[in-house]
Amino acid sequence: MKATDIVKKSKTSKKMKKEKRRSGLFLAPSFLGVMLFFVIPFFVIIYYSMVDNPISKEFVFLNNFKAIIQNKAFRTAAFNTFRFSVISVPLAVILSLILAIMLNEKVPFHSQLRTFFLSPLMVPVASVVLIWQVLFHANGAVNDILQFLFHTEPIDWLKSDSGYIVVIVLFLWKNLGYNMILFMAALASIPKDIIEVALLESANPFQIFFKIKIRYLSSTILFVTIMSLISSFKVFREVYLLTGDYPYGSLYMLQTFMNNTFKSLDYQKLSSAAVLMSIIMVIIIGSLFLVENAFGKDVEG
Amino acid sequence: MVKKKNLLKTGCLLLVLAMSMASLSGCGNKNEDVITTSAGKAEQVSGSSGIESEYLGKCYSAEYTDLYKGNENTYVELYGNYHGKILYRVSDYSNGEEAFYLFDLNTKESEKLDIKFTEDSDKQYIMNVSANKADQLAVLINEASGTSEEQSDVNYKINLYNADAGFEKTIDLKEIQNEYPEDDRYVSNLILLDNNCLAFSIGSDVIILDEDGNEKGKVNSSFDFINSMSLNNEGKILLTGYGMKGLETLIVNPDSLSSEGKYDNFPMAYNAAPCSTKDGMMIVASDNQLNLYDPASQKQDLILNYIDCEIIGNNINRIFVTDEGQIVLFLQDWSSNTSEMVYLKEIDPAQVVQKEEITFGTLFGIDSDVEKAIVNFNKKNEKYRIKVVTYANEDNIQSEDDAIQALSSMNNSLITDSCPDIIDLSYVNRDNLVQKNVLLDLNEFFDYSSKYDKNDYLPNILDVYTVNGVLTSIPKNIHLNVILGGKSVLGDVNSWTLQDFMDVCKKYPDAQPFSYTTKESMLFALLSGSSSSYLNYAEGTCNFDNDDFKKVLEFCNQFPEDIDYSNVDIDPDAYSKHEILFLDRTLWGVDDYMMYYSMYGESVKIMGYPNAKGNNGIALSSEGSYGISAKTKYKEAIFEFLEVLLEDEVDQFTYNSGISPRKSLLEKQFERAMEEEYVLDENGEKIVDENGEYIRIPKMTIGTETGMYEIYSASKEDIDQIRDAIERIDYLNSEDYDLYMMIYEEAQPYFKGQKSVDETAKVIQSRMSMYISEHY
């Protein structure tokens, strides 16, 4: 190696080091914020989930987890949240994809329909909840319609075993528009020449959709699924505004449990529930990534 | 060029960093110009609200003076400046004598005045005395005419005296009084203005009289009740009174006879009238602190905290500023009938003795007993002082949500390192705190104290305060939450099921179970003692979806939704005539029991709240319940304080002061309650009637919503009844309001006919099962 090359290399490496230092400094505020408000509190939560109480702080390892798994309220909350996510997330993904495909075609009033589906995003949750309460009350509009059409007995939807259906409808109404926009953007980015080639080779619309479009949409489907999953875990806000601290059993969600245990200072239950929930989230999201990797790896770009 | 670019980049980076740090630093508490206190003295950093005054930024010491060494029959009232000294009156109830004195703050000596303001002290009573700057005096006198049966015929007069206390004239207020409804003729709050005009309040009006005593005019305050009247520096009258928004102010111009608006941001002055200073400020005694109010800027600032200065704020009866500018407070302790005068002396902060601080955490503040105990402890203890930390004070509580927020803040501090040393347990969940090892086991207190013996305490009462073997608090006195009913209705039973209760009610179909019974009140009454029948905290289960609970709902549904209280008058004999069967009450003591005896006209049964199993004990509540943090460094000092707090003498027990949990004191209370009182002759000998029997007289007469009732001494049977009820105490009345509200909320659609009882019970069961399993 020539001496000039060595000098050049050392100069480059010095420059790179300087560059790294500068980037590090620019990243520092965000890094500090994430550490301070997310990472450190998360470790504090893990610590609290393994001590008996915040005063004596005796290490009890997994005892809090055992206790919480045996707790009926936690089990009900976990079941309700799981049921809600399992039903609402696929529905949110599939329905928004159908809407996106529909609006991508030349359907009449497609721009009005797009605005219609996006409008729930602009409405504050508190007012949405108010409307929902009026609609699904025992004397509400939904019961009136059902009574008129099918002569059914009025149901107090939010205080019945079917309460979760109301929240699923609310969730879909609120989230479909956002998901739809993401899918529309992804659909627009699928290379047109591939579709044209497929058409020339006599592929039918179903083949084009399942063999080409779905493959190209796989990363967006993953993203929409993860976002919907996260939103489904956050549906507590709507449930709380609709029903308060202690809703009917079918609407008792994991975050309801956490909110109430926080209020009753039961930080051990709260932190162990939070740790369990995050483990489950990591497993679900990790699995989704694996599926996406396996399914969409041969797609270009 | 590159260098310059780099410099620019680095500069930008530093700016970003500086901005982030600055924004983070904004998260801290900026409230630093508050008070540092030590050793019973208060020090304040001045100008925190922009007010400038000689009274701010100083360190004060409270100097106490006993104006008059009297006895339990002596009553002292202080009026303010007169001839450069302090004018006060001493009345002796035992012989009806009264005298006026002048106290000299410099020599600390009192001189008796040779003046008499009333002619017949049996019929005339001095309500108020006011002196103006020229040392002329006006005395408001309440004169009862006719016999004692016609006491309502009360006439007010104002006597005027010149600067030498020579009588000038009497102004009769009868004509003015007669313009007001009979029940609204109470005259109070007299002020003698410097132009010799007079101002006083009657009803919600302020009346101004000219120097000849003729009515000049009146100004309506629109207050329900005028609490106080005082003069500001401009000679205008400042009123405080209870209006639509609570305690409000109004400024009245006595010359133009008009109101001139109000003071905004005025501190709450419940006890003593505000007082003006030479520099135009107003000194205002609010709940916990003495404030300075600037009428010009309408801002307030803190002069001192009472506890820091070892002053019992609840006892402040009058404030005034001497001619030399010294603040004087007059304290009146109604429970012990003692009075003290305090003047605030400015001291050098360096003189203040530094003491270690013990924190006393409370949600809404402390009651007068605790305040007294803290002040006494702080006065005597040379090493420690107690500092009160209030989580929900006037400054941060505007709504129910604020109170919930404050409770949450208190709860959080209890389980962290900022836990106060002494904890007011009134609003917190003691089971939860014991579970988290927050509370010290107060059995240790009995090992420490030579004054208090655990065996002297009723064991069932200590058991009620014990959670998982930890004695959480020791009550000073207790009250019983009970249902009372006549013996003729209840017979000899001591406990009952919900069905028994409903059967008794059915037996008297024309009677109301309780006065003003509504669906809601009946549901709350029936749930009070029976929640354990439906909720099993030990197993985390509940049982609302059963026939018993459905029967309760059906039973409550027969009562009205609401009652128009303005149209309902209760006949005083309604209880004795079995028109109203029961009373849902807090039983405060033997005298209270005897009042109910008088109400029912027969022996009264003390019952616990009915429940499904019929094994109902009696619920207990106590006025204050205080625990000690397990982490405190000052255990022994707090035990010393606890000894002061629990101090109780049977002589101090008055009507409604509670039942002692200590066997020795309880027996003395019983003995005192059984002492008969008779009519005595002038030699103190008992008088006999025509049958040769001594004539009994009532110990006291108590007025209630239904009428006046005479309280006689208790018989042995009455005492046995009470003793038995105390022995049956087996739980602490810690009403879970959230739980009741949830049940009531779900019962509403059933009460309105929108849901069946089965559906209602199912919904309640579902919500409650979440509630209970969460707490399991």
Q: How high is the mean pLDDT of chain B?
A: 83
Nearest-angstrom CA–CA distance, B698 and B676: 9
What is the predicted pLDDT for the residue at B554?
Answer: 92
Give alpha helix (H) positions in chain A.
Answer: 3-34, 40-48, 63-70, 72-104, 110-118, 125-136, 141-150, 163-188, 192-200, 205-207, 214-233, 236-243, 254-263, 267-296
In B, which residues are within 8 Å of A55 by CB distance? 415, 419, 436-438, 630-631
Residue B28 pLDDT greater than 70, yes or no: no
B30 or B325, which is more confident? B325
Q: Is B351 on the interface with A (CB under 8 A)?
A: no
pLDDT of residue B347: 84
* pLDDT band for position B626 (cuts 50, 70, 90): very high
- pLDDT of residue B545 exceeding 50, the answer is yes
Which chain A residue shows the shortest CA-CA distance from B19?
A29
Tell me the average pLDDT across B74-98.
83
Residue B36 clears pLDDT 60, i.e. is over it: no
Pairing of strands B707-711, B604-607: unpaired
B16 lies within 8 A of chain A by CB: yes
Provide DSSP, B38-103. ETTEEEE-TTTTS---TTSS-EEEEEEE-S----TTEEEEEEEEETTEEEEEEEETTTTEEEEEEE
Looking at this protein, which amino acid is placed at residue B458? L
Choose from B407, B762, B767 for mutation: most chain A CBs within 10 A. Answer: B767
In the prediction, which pLDDT does B358 show? 95
Could you tell me if A263 lies within 8 Å of chain B, comparing CB atoms? yes
Substitution target in B9, B751, B766, B768 with the highest count of A β-carbons within 10 Å is B766
Q: Is the pLDDT of residue B2 over 60?
A: no
CA distance, residue B634 to nearest chain A CA (Å): 17
Which B residues 287-326 touch A at CB under 8 Å? Answer: none
Burial of A286 (0-12, 13-18, 19+ CB in 10 A): exposed
Is B411 an 8 Å CB contact of chain A? Answer: yes
Cβ contact B766–A257 (<8 Å): no
Cα dist from A176 to A96, A164, B366, whole Å: 5, 18, 55
Cross-chain Cβ contact A28/B17 below 8 Å = yes
B770 → closest Cβ in A73, A263, A265 = A73
Answer yes or no: do B767 and A29 touch at CB < 8 A. no
- Express each pLDDT in A232-284 by its tens digit: 988 888 899 988 889 999 999 999 999 998 888 788 899 999 999 999 989 98
Q: Say if B416 is an interface residue toward chain A (CB within 8 Å).
A: yes
- Residue B533 confidence (pLDDT): 76
A246 touches chain B (CB under 8 A): yes
A30 vs B: CB within 8 A = no
pLDDT mean over B338-362? 86
Q: How many CB atoms lie within 10 A of CB B461?
A: 23
Q: Which residues of B touch A265 (CB under 8 A)?
A: 411-412, 414-415, 429, 432, 436
Q: Under an 8 A CB cutoff, do A265 and B414 touch?
A: yes
Which chain B residue shows the shortest CA-CA distance from A261? B774
What does the pLDDT read at residue B24? 38
d(CA B711, CA B717): 16
Question: Which of the residue ranges A1-5, A120-124, B373-377, B610-614 would you say has the lowest mean pLDDT?
Answer: A1-5
Q: Measure in Å the smallest separation between the Cα of A53 and chain B Cα atoms.
A: 5
pLDDT of residue B719: 92
Length of chain A: 301
For residue A221, CA distances in Å to A94, A98, A228, B516 come to 9, 12, 10, 63
Query: Which residues are CB-neighbours of A108 under 8 A, at least 6 positions away?
Result: none
Could you please report the per-residue DSSP string of B102-115? EEETTTTEEEEE--
Interface contacts (A, B; CB < 8 Å): 86
Contact A50, A61 (CB under 8 A): yes
State whether A25 and B17 contact (CB < 8 Å): yes
Q: In the prediction, which pLDDT does A112 show?
A: 83
How many of the other CB atoms lie within 10 Å of CB of B695?
Answer: 12
Q: B422-424 and B356-362 as β-strands: parallel, antiparallel, unpaired? A: parallel
User: Which helix (H) or strand (E) covers residue B666, if one does?
Assistant: helix B663-674
| Residue B498 · residue B483 · CB < 8 Å | no
Of A54, A138, A260, the CB nearest to B774: A260
Which ipTM value was assigned to this complex? 0.82
Q: pLDDT at residue B10 above 60?
A: no
Q: Report percent pLDDT > 90 for chain B.
A: 23
Asked if B766 reaches chain A (Cβ–Cβ under 8 Å), the answer is yes
User: Which phi and psi (to 5°) does residue B11 adopt?
Assistant: -60, -45
Q: What is the pLDDT of residue B25?
A: 35
Judged by CB atoms closer than 8 Å, whether chains meet at B9 and A22 is answered as: yes
Our CA-based measurement puts residue B773 at a distance from the nearest CA of chain A, in whole angstroms, of 5
More confident residue, B14 or B477: B477
CB contact under 8 A, A139 and B754: yes
Residues B675-703 have a mean pLDDT of 81
For residue B12, name the pLDDT band (cuts at 50, 70, 90).
low
**Residue carrying structure tokens 């209840």:** B490
pLDDT higher than 70, residue B517: yes
pLDDT-derived band of residue B142, with 50, 70 and 90 as boundaries? confident
Cβ of residue A265 closer than 8 Å to a chain B Cβ: yes
Q: Which residue of B has its CA nearest to A157?
A: B763
Asked if B20's CB is within 8 angstroms of A55's CB, the reply is no
pLDDT at B108: 83
In B, which residues are within 8 Å of A76 by CB distance?
770, 773
B437 — contact with chain A (CB < 8 Å)?
yes
- C-alpha–C-alpha distance, residues B172 and B159, integer Å: 9
Residue B373: is its pLDDT beyond 80?
yes
pLDDT in tens, B208-233: 999 888 999 999 998 888 889 999 88
- Coil, strand, or helix at residue B402? helix
User: Of the candidates B412, B435, B773, which has its C-beta nearest A71's C-beta?
Assistant: B773
Q: In chain A, which residues have their Cβ closer than 8 Å to the Cβ of B540?
A: 71-72
pLDDT at position A86 is 93
* Contact between chains at B770 and A261 (C-beta distance less than 8 A): no
Q: Which residues of B touch A156 (CB under 8 A)?
A: 749, 755, 759, 763
Determine, for residues A29 and B754 on separate chains, whether the beta-carbon distance falls below 8 Å.
no
Six-digit token string for B567: 């149209």
* CB of B257 closer than 8 Å to CB of B232: no
The answer to whether B642 touches B475, Cβ cutoff 8 Å, is no
Q: In this predicted model, what pLDDT tens digit does every residue of B473-491 receive, in sequence order?
A: 999 889 998 999 998 888 8
Through-space distance between the first and last CA atoms of chain B, rounded to whole angstroms: 71
Residue of A nearest to B15 (CA): A26
Residue B187 pairs with which residues in a beta bridge?
B202
Helix runs in B495-572, H state only: 498-507, 519-528, 531-534, 547-556
Task: With CB atoms and an 8 Å threshold, state whether A138 touches B432.
Answer: no
Partners of residue A248 in chain B, C-beta under 8 Å:
763, 766-767
pLDDT of residue A300: 52
Whether residues B20 and A249 touch (CB distance < 8 A) is answered with no
Of A188-202, B149-163, B441-455, B683-697, the range with the lowest mean pLDDT is B149-163
Q: Give A227's contacts (C-beta < 8 A, 6+ positions apart).
A: A178, A179
Angle, nearest 10°, between helix axes B737-751 and B757-775? 160
Position B33 confidence tier, pLDDT thresholds 50, 70, 90: very low
The low-confidence residues of chain A, meaning pLDDT below 50, are: 301
Which pLDDT belongs to residue B54?
79
* Number of other residues whose CB lies within 10 A of the CB of residue B343: 17
In sequence order, the 6+-apart residues with CB closer than 8 A to the CB of B719 are: B590, B670, B673, B674
pLDDT bucket at B41, cuts 50 / 70 / 90? very low
Using a CB-CB distance cutoff of 8 angstroms, which residues of chain A are in contact with residue B429?
Answer: 264-265
Q: Which of B85, B110, B113 is nearest to B99 (CA)?
A: B113
The minimal CB distance from B771 to the residues A29, A71, A246 is found for: A246
Task: Give the whole-angstrom CA distance, residue A77 versus residue A258.
Answer: 10
What is the C-alpha separation between B438 and B710, in angstroms, rounded? Answer: 47
Q: Does B696 touch chain A (CB under 8 A)?
A: no
pLDDT at B444 over 90: yes
| B759/A156 touch (CB, cutoff 8 Å), yes or no | yes
